[in-house]
Each structure stands twice: as structure tokens, then as C-alpha cells.
Structure 1
């Protein structure tokens, strides 16, 4: 028995050290650990996600691979090739993306979907203790995650804020031109990831399936992975969905330690579900052309009528009986199309995770509007969603962006807001080249946003929880008044009622810690986000900045540490210089800490916040336990 005990660890280590490669041309009989939405089809197709929203799926090889020859050694060279396909709910709107992952564990617990890709959560995103290396394939542009666009590949080290990223595509070996690859194309895409341990060089290359590997990588970066990757790591995939869903499929996968990875046998790969590929199925194509041949005379006869209808169809809209109640709030698609010159890029104001915003002038008037095109969430009934939006349209307050109305067309919802000529507050706080705001302007904007939130929480007919209070959602009108906008995540409930449990949504860095446990949004969770907002306005910093030293990365922690040392005023935005009111600055910083207290019951109500900002009552001391 003693001999067995002594020999077993040796045999285990020997087994681990001998496993260095595998090839799956389809995943029949593959030794994989699956959780969340991940599943294997009968034909060996690995599906990481399904039609569930705000969910995640993981698939890992069950045996860890040895990436170092000694605990303090350098990482051994490795390479992998795999084929994937993303099939979205909406052709132009993904949800959200997936990643190839090296992880110390094949069980990623307490991780979140949407932009976290099932890899991290709001508290550990960016932590060096994660020891996560990933290459992400993302179909949503999230500005808070510093995404470059909604069709990109990124190298992630312990965070979903990529160290380096590029728009998906490849450089043609024939003409040297960059060819865009659309991740949401429903088409199989092949990826090569190679790490040279000697030169610490990481290359990521992709192309359409069946084409040779391009000579020039899409991403190439010198990275020392020795402090990131542990001796033994699990390899696999993680994917997530958000407001909309996408099917994330892996068709085949090959991996090699310290050698050239075997190529996949494309002819042996499983096919995507027929419903996803019917338009490209050869048999279907032949049948289609036979039917077209038989009906060619009918089509020719109808051609004239069809041409007449083309322009009319462009402006077709969805209308149902229940929408008669909201007719006064409805714009025609043609109005909004003409207002933006056909939604041309020259009218584009910005792009976010929920859609594109355009500046427009309503035809026949001089009224400027902001027009936001979003994909509605089908899980929530369209009628309920529009009714809620229209309810928000009844809100009238000087510090809220007025919602003027909506338009509903196939696959999207279009919201029309009053245009704010001075754009969003974050441009003045964080963008280089923009003129900075003086302290008096900042303090005025803070009090205005607080007044708007008080109106939403206490003075409306129903309680409105905004759920996404942040500088980028505070717009500035012609007089530089702060107006809270973007109610795309807002939730309503009756005064005295119980807040609804909902999907976790919002922006990393502003999410109250209790939301990851309860998923129940309250006015307290809005107050937490407002506290972070106070700090970013006073400090001129974003809530999380992973490129900074570890003790400076999280804004709340940094300000709190300075408060404890008696140096809280040193956290102010350097661009303010000495032009500020010390008492007001200290009040805003300390109030920011109080509002972002980890205990919901310790946070003040927005009415109390207003009283503190106006000097009607004194700030409690000490602030925190």
C-alpha cells in the first residue's frame, strides 16, 4: 500500500507529461468537460451556446497539459488550429462572442456572460491571480472594454480588455490586400494560434475555411507568458450571449505542445445544422434553380410591379393593433431615413453595445434629433418593451434627455431623442484634445444628474431604475446642463412594490456588488453607480484602468486608500490644477465613496444625496467601517 502511495504521484505526473497533442476532426468520442450551454451534437459538432440569453458555455479538454518544464521555467512553445462558426439571432447583431482559453481549471465558476465571455466577473476582471490567457472573437463593440469594433479578434491576459486587437480578417498572399472576415457570416472560419516560447512571440491568423494559412498573421505580439501560464493548464473554449443570442460552434480542433500542430481534415469535419446552411446546400441550390426556371415567366410578368414596390418596401414598418395607443409617439421609418440621409456614416454620432446613434433633422422642420437604432430583445415581448419605452417618454425633467418617440421596423427598434449638441460628458473627461471642464461646471453637472435620479427614484408615478448611470450616458445640452440619457436598460416598478429580479446588465466598474448574487436591481444599485460617477468626474479617471499599477487600477479602491491616508484631495483630476473649491471637491470624493459602499443599506438615498450636495446636512464621519 505504501509503495502504491509513493508511486501514484509519479505515475500521474508521467501521464500528464506524455500528453502533448490531440486532434479532433469533429468531437465524436472526444474527452471534453462541458458546462453551461455547451453540448455535443450526435454528429460530433460542439455547440457552446444556444438560444438562451445572458448565459455562457464552456468546453475544456479534461486532461491538463504541461506548459513548463520547471515551476520557474519559461513557457514551452505551443500551437493550435480550430474551425468555428457563429450563427446570430440577428444578422447584424451578435451575442456576444467566444474565446480560446488556457486556464488553471476547467471549471470556471462565478464567471459572467455578455462581455465577460464566461471568463471573468466584475470583481476579478483584470486580476493577475486569474492566470487566464485567451484569444477572443467578439461581435459586440463595448466601449468600456475598449473594443475597437463589433467584429474583432483580441489577445486577452487576465482581462477581457484586450492587450492587442484587430478587426477580423487576413492579408492576401496574392495581392497583399487586407480581406475582411465577418465573424457573423454563418460561414466556417479557420484559426491558427502559435506561441514561440524561445522568442516569446504570439501569432494569431485566420481565414475562411478551405483557404491556405495566410503568411502574415492578423495579430503578432511579443508576450512573456511565464508569469501568466502555470506549469499545467487546461485548454478549451468559452462563449457567452447577451441581449441577443448566437450559436457558437466548434467544428474541429487540433493542439500541439512544442511542435507543428497537425492540420485538420476538412472533409471529416461535421456539417453545421441544415437550417443554418440551407442557402449554401448544393442540392437546395439545384432545386431552387429548377423552380426558378419553371416560374421564370411569372417572375418576368411581375417584374414591373416589383420595381414599383421596391421603394415602398424600403420604408415598410411593423404595426400591430396595440400600437394605436402610442400613435402620437411613433415616427415613420421614412421620416427617420430621410432625416439621416439614409443612415449614412457621416451622420453617425457613436456606436455602443446596443446600437448606433445618428444625428438627424426631421424633414420639413429645423428640429435636430438623435436617432438610435437598436435590436429589441425578443425574450421580452415587443409590446411590453415599447410600452415601457413610451412610459419613459412621459418623463419630464430638466436633467433627463427627452425621449420624443420611436419607430419599429423588421428586426430593430428605433428611438428618437432630443439632440444634445455638446455630446456626452465622458468626451470632456477622457478624450485627448477636448477642452476640459472647470470645477464649477463639473459640480453643476453632478448636482443636475443627482436631481434627475431623485426624480426617477421618488418623484415619478412609478419608480424608475436607470441601471446604467455613467459619464458616457450623461449628455450635455447647449447650456452645458447635465442630462441623464440612454434608458435602454431601465426598469420600472410601483412605489412600495418589490423590485424585479432581472438579468445582470450594466457596465463593468459601475455594477453594485450585490447584483452578482441577487440579480435584483434597486434604487440602491443606481446609487452605487452614481457614487462611481462622482469619482470619475472628480478624478478624471475611468472606474477600471487595467494598464495602471495594481494598486491604481480600481478607482474606488484608490480613492479609498487615499482617504484613509488623509490625501484624498490628491486624487483630483490633474487638469483642474488649483482651480477648484476644496470643500466641494472633498465633499464629492467622500460622497462618491459613501454612495459606492459595498453594503447597500449604508448608501444614502438620492434625496439625502441632494441634501448633502446643497449643504443642507453634513456628511457623516467616519464614512466607512
Structure 2
């Protein structure tokens, strides 16, 4: 696990950039994370993925230079860390943009990729609040002939699918689960776990299911949005899609192409979400993190042998620009 710093910088041609500086981690893990992110991001290109402009690896220095996102990361908005308010139109634009970015990674790219860490702080917003999926340090190339990979857990509890957190079974369906949790956060402007709230509201997916069962899904909506005007059937459809994404078993979650079609009303939503049994199985919370130990027996393993890791050589990228550094704009951890 390597600490990284995100800084604002300027290239010689005047362009603003975001500079991701990895700590002076001389371990093989630190090098592997850096190379993985370079390989991943240079092999793909989509309007809803952050664009890498250059990189530097010299001695202990590991630097990645990305396009600058004026409105920074989504978590600063939906967790109330600044005064920006997004109406439903802007929120839906962000949701559908993330969905299309994931569809590209899972289905439309020349290589199959699982991000492994879809969360609000890894969604960057440009000057028009168009979303870009960022931070590919944990992403994995995925063999075309494999349904799952068996691997050690890496990601963020609260967003991750239970079969991955418990059994280490990785597939695109892990990203889909994370996407479902993130959609609930965007609609409600709440963190997925908030221990300051009354007990039945502390875990957002569980609270969303309770509201769904009681036909009170409108209670999940950010109150500010209710007074701003929105098409209720569109918001309700989006909540139902989010609940489909957090189904208890991976094979019950729809692929991203189907999710995009349901969100845009190109296909009817024919499946009804099934409430995850583990929500009633005595989940434990510690220091704002979820403990899945109490429900580990609920999921049976779908893999017996570990699948090989697929690697891809990095494409050539431009690292010739000189960067002038400006103020630090945040710190975060991979994993």
C-alpha cells in the first residue's frame, strides 16, 4: 500500500495538469503498482476515463501526469465537503458517464479490464461535470477465457462485492457492485457507511433495501433535489438499477451494457432486485469499515484454482514536458 500525493501543476505550454506522486517506496510492490497503472491507462482511451499525459520513473521518484480536472473528485461534492450542488440532470450525467466508462473497460476495449476500486474519490469531474474514472493502480487485465480470477483482496470496503471481499473472487461484477453503491451515494448525497446516523440508516445499501421493501424509495433522494424539480420515474428507475447492481450473487448482476440500456430506457427492466440475505446476517462495523467475517459462509467458492495474471506491455507515452508544481490538492491511498 503506497501513499500518493496529488498536486496541481503546469506544463511549459501552459496546460494545467494533475500530478500524481507516489511515495519513495523502493519495494517491488511500489514498482508494480506504478507499472500497472502506466500499462493500464496507456492501453485504453475513452471520454469517461482520465487521460495520462506523461510519466517519470527516476530513482525513487514515481510520477504520473494526468489531464487536470477542474471540479476535482466526486466525493468532495456528494459528501458535502464543498458548497457545490448538483441537480438531477447533472447527477444523471455523472452516473451514465461512469456506466459508459465501465462498459468500455469490461466489454468494448480491445482488452478486458476490472478497475477494482470504483468509488467517489476515484471519479474526477471536468469543467462541465463530465465524469472520468481515475486511479488504475489496482486495475487488472482480465483473460478473455476466464469468468473469474482468484486473487488477494485489494480495494475499499463498503464498495466492494462480498464474494471478492470474502472469497477473493474477482470479475467485472465486482465493479458493477461498486457502481451500484456509488449510484446510491450520488442520489442520496450520503456515504455508504455513516455511524453518526440512526442504526437502520448507517449502512446505505441496507437502508436502500428497507425503503424499497416499504415502497418508500423517494425517502432516499437528497432533499435538496426534491425542491429542484426532477422526473420521478427516472430517479426511481436509477435506484432500482442500483439495487440490481448490488445483488447478493455475481451472476445476478447485469452487465454494464445492459445497465446503460436500462438507465437510458432503451430496454425495460424485467428483473426485480433480490434482497441480499447477508444484510440480516449480523454484519459488524468497526471504525467506519465493514466486517464481512460474520457472513463468510454465505458464499460458496466459484473457483478452485487461481487463474494466471495477464500482463500487457505499456505503450509509449510522452514524458518530455517539464512540469512546474503548484499547490497540493489532496492525498489518498491506493487500496
| Range into which the TM-score falls when normalised by the shorter chain | 0.7 to 0.9
Counterparts of 1:493 and 1:508, CA distance in 2: 22
Q: CA deviation at 1:534?
A: 0.7
- Deviation track 1:240-294 (CA, whole Å, cap 9, x = no partner) reads xxx26xxxxxxxxxxxxxxxxxxxxxxxxxxxxxxxxxxxxxxxxxxxxxxxxxx
* Poorly superposed stretches of 4+, deviation over 4 Å: none
Counterparts of 1:503 and 1:494, CA distance in 2: 17
What is the aligned partner in structure 2 of residue 559 from structure 1? 208
Is residue 378 from structure 1 mapped to residue 15 from structure 2 by the alignment? no
Counterparts of 1:432 and 1:524, CA distance in 2: 30
Q: 1:486 aligns with which of 135, 157, 168?
A: 135
Alignment of 1:19-168 (within 5 A): none
Is residue 474 from structure 1 mapped to residue 106 from structure 2 by the alignment? no
What is the aligned partner in structure 2 of residue 526 from structure 1? 175
Counterparts of 2:130 and 2:161, CA distance in 1: 27
Aligned CA RMSD, in angstroms, stands at 1.9
Q: 2:257 aligns with which of 591, 604, 607?
A: 607
Q: CA deviation at 1:371?
A: 0.4
SS of residue matched to 2:129: coil
Does the aligned pair in 2 maintain the 1:395–1:402 contact within 8 Å?
no
What is the aligned partner in structure 2 of residue 586 from structure 1? 236
Does the aligned pair in 2 maintain the 1:457–1:523 contact within 8 Å?
yes
Counterparts of 2:41 and 2:82, CA distance in 1: 35
- Deviation track 1:367-391 (CA, whole Å, cap 9, x = no partner) reads 1110011145834483785265234
CA 1:622–1:391 in structure 2 vs 1: closer, same or farther (change >3 Å)?
closer
Is residue 367 from structure 1 mapped to residue 23 from structure 2 by the alignment? no
Counterparts of 2:109 and 2:82, CA distance in 1: 39
Gaps spanning 5+ residues in structure 1: where? 1-242, 245-353
Counterparts of 1:382 and 1:412, CA distance in 2: 10
- Deviation track 1:282-318 (CA, whole Å, cap 9, x = no partner) reads xxxxxxxxxxxxxxxxxxxxxxxxxxxxxxxxxxxxx
Counterparts of 1:520 and 1:369, CA distance in 2: 36
SS of residue matched to 2:241: helix
Which one is further off, 461-470 or 500-509? Answer: 500-509
Does the aligned pair in 2 maintain the 1:427–1:434 contact within 8 Å?
no
Does the aligned pair in 1 maintain the 2:69–2:125 contact within 8 Å?
yes
Q: 2:189 aligns with which of 528, 532, 540?
A: 540
- Deviation track 1:387-429 (CA, whole Å, cap 9, x = no partner) reads 6523422311111110122111333421111100111112221
Q: 1:618 aligns with which of 268, 285, 291?
A: 268
Counterparts of 1:552 and 1:587, CA distance in 2: 21
Does the aligned pair in 1 maintain the 2:98–2:133 contact within 8 Å?
yes
Does the aligned pair in 2 maintain the 1:393–1:404 contact within 8 Å?
no
CA 1:567–1:404 in structure 2 vs 1: closer, same or farther (change >3 Å)?
same
Q: CA deviation at 1:432?
A: 4.7
Q: CA deviation at 1:365?
A: 0.9
Q: CA deviation at 1:499?
A: 4.3
Counterparts of 1:432 and 1:497, CA distance in 2: 41
Q: Which has the higher strand share?
A: 1
Counterparts of 2:133 and 2:188, CA distance in 1: 20
Counterparts of 1:546 and 1:552, CA distance in 2: 9
CA 1:560–1:377 in structure 2 vs 1: closer, same or farther (change >3 Å)?
farther
Counterparts of 1:552 and 1:510, CA distance in 2: 16
CA 1:462–1:494 in structure 2 vs 1: closer, same or farther (change >3 Å)?
farther
Aligned length, in residue pairs: 273
What is the aligned partner in structure 2 of residue 343 from structure 1? none
Q: CA deviation at 1:520?
A: 2.6
SS of residue matched to 2:170: coil
TM-score (norm 2): 0.77
CA 1:516–1:435 in structure 2 vs 1: closer, same or farther (change >3 Å)?
closer
What is the aligned partner in structure 2 of residue 215 from structure 1? none
Is residue 358 from structure 1 mapped to residue 7 from structure 2 by the alignment? yes
CA 1:377–1:504 in structure 2 vs 1: closer, same or farther (change >3 Å)?
farther
CA 1:386–1:622 in structure 2 vs 1: closer, same or farther (change >3 Å)?
closer
Gaps spanning 5+ residues in structure 2: where? 276-335
CA 1:531–1:475 in structure 2 vs 1: closer, same or farther (change >3 Å)?
same
Counterparts of 1:600 and 1:527, CA distance in 2: 9
Q: 1:408 aligns with which of 57, 60, 69?
A: 57
- Deviation track 1:421-441 (CA, whole Å, cap 9, x = no partner) reads 111112221225412100001
- Deviation track 1:302-360 (CA, whole Å, cap 9, x = no partner) reads xxxxxxxxxxxxxxxxxxxxxxxxxxxxxxxxxxxxxxxxxxxxxxxxxxxx3110000
- Deviation track 1:86-135 (CA, whole Å, cap 9, x = no partner) reads xxxxxxxxxxxxxxxxxxxxxxxxxxxxxxxxxxxxxxxxxxxxxxxxxx
What is the aligned partner in structure 2 of residue 457 from structure 1? 106
Is residue 440 from structure 1 mapped to residue 95 from structure 2 by the alignment? no
TM-score (norm 1): 0.42
Counterparts of 1:593 and 1:425, CA distance in 2: 21
Which one is further off, 426-435 or 373-382? Answer: 373-382
What is the aligned partner in structure 2 of residue 596 from structure 1? 246
Alignment of 1:273-284 (within 5 A): none
Does the aligned pair in 2 maintain the 1:597–1:603 contact within 8 Å?
yes
